[in-house]
Structure 1
Amino acid sequence: MTVEMQTAIPIAIEPKDERHNESYQALVWRRLKRSWTGMVGLILVGLLIFMAVFADFLSPVDPKATGVGFAPPQAISISDRDGNFVFPPRSYPLRETATLDPITFQPVIGPDYDNPQILGFLVKGAPYRLFGLIPAERHLFGTVDGSPVHLLGTDKFGRDVLSRIFYGSRISLMIALVVVSIVTVVGTTIGMASGYFGGRFDIWTQRIVELVLAFPQLPLYLALTSLIPVTAPTNVFLAFVIFVMSALGWAQMSREVRGKTLALARIDYVRAAMAIGATDRRIIFQHIFPNVMSHVIVAVTLAIPNVVLLESFLGFLGFAVKPPLMSWGLMLQDTATYSVIGSYPWILSPVAFVLITVFAFNALGDGLRDAVDPY
């Protein structure tokens, strides 16, 4: 008697691919994570926004407090003047010495080794209001006894450069974000409408766009900003600068979006929506706008550094922000002469933050440019 043995044949079960359920945002994020430049840009942009929001907490000194003018940066040391190890780290306050600078004939600022400053984290300092509402006096770092410490030196009025950079990031980034937001909304709306409706509306709209693009922007910026009187309130001057930048910046965005809309308006699903009687508003915002959005996102990330550079340049010339407001461009006014730069190079510190901002948004824009089309 023969017993037939039935051998079970193993069946290989392929793992379920979850990617077919991913949304468009998940696909973009997965593609962006593969770009190391895009991720570096994203991290730097996040740090810049954090710095602008929590500038009060990060600033070790009141940015409006004055002291010794053009004092060099204070070094952080973990040893005393005899070379012995000390902890926590300390810094040494700056004082004028009897030595004169051979170029400026000003007293040379040197460290005072007899009065060391003990550094620490979450120390008490100048009072402020977090988010403009919550009273606080804790700062991320500073001296234990509350005396000022200038890690990036001071300007000609003795104001701390590092604290002014933190506060100046608010105005510089705020101007860039507001201007780009207005340019994006106006340029995208006009560009989609011009490309979709066509005809006379498109012809006249493009003539206006060409007129705006034909103006030499820099002389026009200087001419328009000079119309504001010097005695005007700082908020009015700032609003006018934002208006001028927005009025001259929407045309390029409109031209780019119009080109994308002209191509999308001929796609089958758009023509099908027209055939079934969908309204123009529904077609523009439900069918065309989502497909234009990827280009707009990339254009926004590349436009922000341009506005930051423009604000810094206009601020250097004195046409962007007026005191008591602070911005990176306004801080660079102290670098107008070569003798000052040669003797006090630390006042060029805002340039480093401008370069970091430009690199961060450009790197993020390059990463998004590849990630917005995951297929």
Structure 2
Amino acid sequence: MNSPLPAPGAGLGHYISTAPFDPLSVEAMTEEQSQVYQASQLKLMWWKFKRHRVAVASGIFLAALYLMILVCEILAPYNLHTRNMDFIYSPPQRVHFFSDGQFIGPFVYGRQMTLDMDTLKRNYSDDRSQVQPIRFFCRGDSYKFWGLVESNIHLACPAENGQLFLLGTDRLGRDVLSRIIYGARISLTIGLVGIAFSFVLGIIIGGLAGYHGGVFDLIVQRVIEVLQSIPSIPLWMALAAIMPVTWSPILIYFGITLILGLLDWTGLARAVRSKLLALREEDYVLAAQLMGAKSSRIIGRHLIPGFMSHLIATATIAIPGMILGETALSFLGLGLRPPITSWGILLTEARGVSVIAFYPWLLFPMIPVILVILAFNFLGDGLRDAADPYR
């Protein structure tokens, strides 16, 4: 006996989660029920994904970050290499709006520095006689936009002859906030480029192993088991250490990306193999074989698109591992090297216990790393749930 249709007043979310509709009762459906019944798989995935509010918020947050890296020169208050030698290890400045009960707008107070002769620590205090309004859409340090176009336009700038260190400065007087913004371009893109390598390798190797099986499948499985049994960090360190020191920063960047991609394809390959082992027995695969279709066409045009949504969700969850890998290698001094700046390189400034005790704001680059990793994990969970036809 067919189960009754949901009430006409029910929302779309109720229809998505219920059993499939009876085709014989299409005429009795309401407009909303008909939309759900006739919706494509992609649209159903989108409806289910929108119900995962944390995943949606994570996706918006990551999209904003990736848009930010396109204009990081404009968003950063200072140039990447600008040094303020009079304000070495300056703590973060607070933004104020009122001075002596009068509204001025966003501003910071000037800084006075004294040196503690016992600990040699620089102590900074606010000089309330120096009110320095923050300028917006202003001219400041010059830079080359994407290394091509000369410009000096910034979203926010310090006052004339003033300072603006919202997250403090490092041992060379460089603004930490500006360096975090510039470092996002490297740390965020290295995960995307790395996953592109592993995505191609995982689909090709896992697809061939799952479709053909036999000796090739056996060899692939043993290779995957060996690679997955080796601790990741020591293996990354060993491969990164063999890169010549004479390589340019760009070559080091692509070398680290290639290493991360070559070592992260195993999980994706296993997922592809397991899916193809099940799908290769379907009738449409046999029909394609009888029509003379090649293995590459059957895998690429018929099998892979059938579970591409699962692959995208798997790749989304794999990106945080690559970002953490680059951060760990750079923190240990075996990854990217200056003048390239990433969040891992910025964290090398806080390797000493005394530095952390005296200048804790040097740990601020750790905050975007944590937020990005959490956002990718939440986004991956939402995509995986939306792509799962059994949920």
Q: Indicate the residue corresponding to 1:30 in structure 2.
A: 47
Structure 1, gaps ≥5 residues long:
1-11
- Determine if the alignment matches structure 1 residue 369 to structure 2 residue 350: no
Higher mean C-alpha deviation, range 334-343 or range 122-131: 122-131
Q: Deviations over 1:105-162 (max 9, x none)?
A: 2231222333321113212212234344444322122234374411000011110000
Q: Indicate the residue corresponding to 2:260 in structure 1.
A: 245
The one-letter amino acid paired with 2:78 is V
Contact 1:101-1:107 within 8 A present in 2 as well:
no
* Alpha-carbon offset, residue 77 of structure 1: 1.1
Percent of matched pairs sharing the same residue? 37
Contact 1:95-1:111 within 8 A present in 2 as well:
yes
The one-letter amino acid paired with 1:63 is L
Q: TM-score, normalised by structure 1?
A: 0.90
Alignment of 1:199-218 (within 5 A): 199-218=214-233
Alignment of 1:60-71 (within 5 A): 60-67=77-84, 68-71=87-90
Residue 191 of structure 2 aligns to a residue in which SS? Answer: helix
Higher mean C-alpha deviation, range 298-307 or range 145-154: 145-154
Equivalent-residue separation in structure 1 for 2:280 and 2:78 (angstroms): 57
Equivalent-residue separation in structure 2 for 1:33 and 1:112 (angstroms): 50
Q: Is the alpha carbon distance of 1:307 and 1:314 closer, same or farther for their aligned partners in structure 2, counting shifts above 3 Å?
A: same
* Alpha-carbon offset, residue 13 of structure 1: 9.2
1:283 to 273, 298, 313: 298
The one-letter amino acid paired with 1:305 is P
Q: Indicate the residue corresponding to 2:56 in structure 1.
A: 39
- Determine if the alignment matches structure 1 residue 272 to structure 2 residue 284: no
Q: Indicate the residue corresponding to 1:5 in structure 2.
A: none
Q: Is the alpha carbon distance of 1:101 and 1:92 closer, same or farther for their aligned partners in structure 2, counting shifts above 3 Å?
A: farther
- Determine if the alignment matches structure 1 residue 140 to structure 2 residue 155: yes
* Alpha-carbon offset, residue 331 of structure 1: 0.5
The one-letter amino acid paired with 1:69 is I
* Alpha-carbon offset, residue 238 of structure 1: 1.9
Q: Is the alpha carbon distance of 1:146 and 1:34 closer, same or farther for their aligned partners in structure 2, counting shifts above 3 Å?
A: farther
Contact 1:61-1:148 within 8 A present in 2 as well:
no
Alignment of 1:166-315 (within 5 A): 166-315=181-330
Alignment of 1:122-133 (within 5 A): 122-133=137-148
Structure 2, gaps ≥5 residues long:
1-27
- Determine if the alignment matches structure 1 residue 335 to structure 2 residue 354: no
* Alpha-carbon offset, residue 363 of structure 1: 0.8
* Alpha-carbon offset, residue 229 of structure 1: 3.6
Highest RCO, 1 vs 2 (Cα 8 Å, sep ≥ 6): 1
1:344 to 322, 342, 359: 359
- Determine if the alignment matches structure 1 residue 74 to structure 2 residue 93: yes
Contact 2:256-2:326 within 8 A present in 1 as well:
no
Contact 1:27-1:374 within 8 A present in 2 as well:
no
The one-letter amino acid paired with 1:221 is W
The one-letter amino acid paired with 1:185 is V
Q: Indicate the residue corresponding to 1:160 in structure 2.
A: 175
Q: Indicate the residue corresponding to 1:15 in structure 2.
A: 31
Q: Deviations over 1:196-241 (max 9, x none)?
A: 0112222222233233223333222212211224343212222221
Equivalent-residue separation in structure 1 for 2:117 and 2:366 (angstroms): 25
Contact 2:75-2:156 within 8 A present in 1 as well:
yes
The one-letter amino acid paired with 2:175 is D
Equivalent-residue separation in structure 2 for 1:174 and 1:283 (angstroms): 32
- Determine if the alignment matches structure 1 residue 87 to structure 2 residue 104: yes
Equivalent-residue separation in structure 1 for 2:53 and 2:288 (angstroms): 40
Equivalent-residue separation in structure 1 for 2:63 and 2:389 (angstroms): 23
Structure 1 or 2, whichever has the larger Rg, is 1
* Alpha-carbon offset, residue 374 of structure 1: 5.4
Q: Is the alpha carbon distance of 1:299 and 1:71 closer, same or farther for their aligned partners in structure 2, counting shifts above 3 Å?
A: same
Q: Indicate the residue corresponding to 2:3 in structure 1.
A: none
- Determine if the alignment matches structure 1 residue 49 to structure 2 residue 57: no
Q: Deviations over 1:221-270 (max 9, x none)?
A: 21221122434321222222122222221122212211111111122222
Q: Deviations over 1:174-202 (max 9, x none)?
A: 21111111001111111011100112222
* Alpha-carbon offset, residue 93 of structure 1: 3.0
Q: Deviations over 1:75-130 (max 9, x none)?
A: 111223xx2223222112333125x286x322312223333211132122122343
Residue 71 of structure 1 aligns to a residue in which SS? Answer: coil
* Alpha-carbon offset, residue 314 of structure 1: 1.3
* Alpha-carbon offset, residue 287 of structure 1: 1.3
Q: Is the alpha carbon distance of 1:333 and 1:282 closer, same or farther for their aligned partners in structure 2, counting shifts above 3 Å?
A: same
Q: Deviations over 1:258-305 (max 9, x none)?
A: 111111112222223223333222211121101231221111110111
Higher mean C-alpha deviation, range 219-228 or range 230-239: 230-239
2:127 to 90, 100, 112: 112
Residue 124 of structure 2 aligns to a residue in which SS? Answer: strand
Q: Indicate the residue corresponding to 1:3 in structure 2.
A: none
User: In the comparison of the two structures, how many residue pairs are matched?
Assistant: 360
The one-letter amino acid paired with 1:164 is R
Contact 2:317-2:376 within 8 A present in 1 as well:
yes
Equivalent-residue separation in structure 2 for 1:22 and 1:93 (angstroms): 60
* Alpha-carbon offset, residue 41 of structure 1: 1.1
